[in-house]
Chains A and B, each alone.
Chain A
Amino acid sequence: MSPGHYLALSAILFTIGGLGVLVRRNAIVVFMCVELMLNACNLAFVSFSRMHGNLDGQIIAFFVMVVAAAEVVVGLAIIMTIFRTRRSSSVDDANLLKY
C-alpha cells in the first residue's frame, strides 16, 4: 500500500472530526471529535515515518498521545466544573464571556 492511501484515510478522519466539532453541541462529544482529529494526525505521522524509513514520525505520534492524554484530563475537569455550576454540558449554554 502506498502512503497516499493512508494519508487519504487520515485526511477523511480529520475532516469528520472537524465536522463533529462544528456541528455537535454536547461539550463531551465535541471533545471526542477533537480526539478523533488527533488520532487522524497520528495515523499520518506513522505513515510518514514508514514512508521515510525512520522512526522519528512514530516518536512524534507518541508525544501527540501524551499531550492528548494531558489535554483530556484538564478538558474533562473543565467540563465537570462547568456542568457543576450550570447543570448543562451544552456548549451553547456557556456564553457568559460573550457579553
Chain B
Amino acid sequence: MTAAHVLADRAGAAQVLAGQVADKQSGEPFFFWLLAIVSVAAALGMIFMRKAVHSALLLATVMLSLAALYAVQDAPFLAFVQVIVYTGAVLMLFLFVLMLVGVSSTDSLVETLRGQRFWAAVCGIGFVVLLGVGFANAALGDSAGVKNANAEHGGNIRGLAYLLFGKYVFAFEATSALLITAALGAMVLAHRERTTPKPTQRDLSVERFRRAAQTGAHPGPLPGPGTYARHNAVDMPALLPDGTPSELSVNPIIAARTDTAHRHTDLDGQTEQQALDRDVRAVRTVTETADSERGRPRETEEDEK
C-alpha cells in the first residue's frame, strides 16, 4: 500500500468522524422534540376540533412539522415533496371541498353508538402500547445515516432518481396508470348530467320580464357594488343617486350576513353616520355637477335659436 492510499484512508475516516460530530452538534434532538410536541399537539387538536376547517389547518401544521422532520433526517427531496404535494395540493383540495360542502358544518357531539368514544380510546391506547412494545423489543440499534447513500450518486435527488428509474421503474410505471385512473375516476364521479336544458340568455331575459310583469320587480340589471372613486370592494354597497346605500348591489349572502351600510365607515376614525353623510355628499356633488354640465350646452343652443 502506498503512502497516498494510507493518506486517502485516513482522510476518509476523518470525514466520517467529522460527519458524526456534526450530527451531534446539528441540534437534532432540539428539533426533534420541538417538532414532535408540535405535531402531536396539532394531531390531537385535529381530532378534537369541532369545525372541519380548524381540523384542516391543524393537519397542515402536522404535515409541515413532518416535512421539517424529513429534512432533519437527510431526506430533503421528500421534505419538499411533502410541502408541495401534501400541504400545497392535497390540503388545499380538502379546503376546497370543505368550502363546497359548507364551512359551517360542525360535527354533532351526540354519540349514535353507545360507548363508542370510550372503546375507541381503549383501542387507541391498546394499539399504541402494542406498537411501543414491538419497537422496544426490536433490535433497532443506531441509525447508519443516509449520508453515504446520498453521496454515492452525488446527492439525495440523484440517488433517488437512480433507484426510481432503475430498481423501481415498474412500480413507477404502474404509478402513472394509477394517476390516470384517479383523474378519470374523479371526472366521472364529479360530473353531473343536466336533467334540464341550460337556459339561454333569451330564456333568462324572458323570465326576467315575466317576473317584472307579475311582481313589479325591476327587470334591468342590478346596481354594481362600490362607491364613486372611494371603495370598489364587492362587499361595499353602492350609493343610489339619492344617497341611500343599495343592498341590491352586493351579493345577497354578504348582505344577509352583516349590515353592509356600516361598511361606509371610513378608517379616519369618524362615526358611521358622518362617513355615510360624506359619501352621500360626494355622490350628490358629482351627480349635480354632471347635471349642470349637461344642462349648460342645452341653454346655449336655445339662446342661438
Contacts and interface: CB of A to CB of B under 8 A. Distances in A.
Interface of A: 1-9, 11-20, 22-26, 28-29, 31-33, 35-36, 39, 42-43, 46-47, 49-56, 58-59, 61-63, 65-74, 76-81, 83-84, 89-90, 92
Contact of B120 (A23, A32, A69, A83): A23
Nearest to A15: B128
A36 to B, nearest CB: 6
Given A11-B128, A32-B55, A62-B81, 16 more contacts: A1-B32, A2-B140, A23-B47, A28-B94, A29-B46, A29-B47, A36-B43, A42-B66, A46-B70, A51-B141, A55-B149, A55-B150, A62-B160, A76-B97, A80-B190, A83-B100
Contacts, number: 229
Given A7-B135, A16-B40, A62-B81, A68 B185 contact: no
B142 interface: yes
A9 B40 contact: yes
Q: Size class of B's contact patch?
A: 35 or more
B146 interface: yes
Contacts of A39: 62-63, 66, 86
Greatest chain A CB density within 10 A among B47, B86, B121 is at: B47
B25 to A, nearest CB: 13
A73 B143 contact: no
Given A32-B59, A69-B85, A80-B100, A56 B163 contact: yes
Interface stretch (B71-79, B203-211, B214-222, B266-274): B71-79
Given A11-B132, A58-B77, A77-B189, A66 B107 contact: no
A5 B132 CA distance: 11
Contact of B146 (A8, A32, A54): A54
A59 B100 contact: no
B277 interface: no
A2 B138 CA distance: 13
Contact of A51 (B85, B123, B140, B189): B140
Interface of B: 28-29, 32, 36, 39-40, 43-44, 46-47, 52, 55-56, 59, 62-63, 66, 69-70, 73-75, 77-78, 81-82, 85-86, 89-90, 93-94, 97-98, 100-101, 105, 107-108, 112, 116-117, 120-121, 123-124, 127-128, 131-132, 135-136, 140-146, 148-150, 156, 159-160, 163-164, 167-168, 171, 175, 178-179, 181-183, 185-186, 189-190, 192
Contacts of A46: 69-70, 73, 75, 78
A78 B185 CA distance: 9
A83 to B, nearest CB: 5
Nearest to A33: B47
By Cβ-Cβ distance, the 9 closest A-B pairs, closest first, are A53-B144, A70-B182, A77-B189, A20-B47, A22-B120, A11-B131, A51-B143, A19-B124, A16-B43
Contact of A84 (B105, B164, B192): B192
Nearest to B144: A53
B135 A4 contact: yes
Contacts of A84: 192
B189 A78 contact: yes
29 contacts: A1-B29, A2-B143, A3-B140, A4-B136, A6-B32, A7-B135, A13-B43, A18-B124, A20-B47, A28-B97, A31-B94, A35-B59, A39-B63, A42-B78, A43-B70, A46-B70, A53-B145, A53-B148, A54-B149, A58-B75, A58-B146, A62-B160, A73-B182, A76-B97, A77-B190, A78-B189, A80-B97, A90-B108, A92-B112
Given A55-B163, A62-B160, A69-B90, A80 B189 contact: yes
Contacts of B85: 65, 69
B123 A22 contact: yes
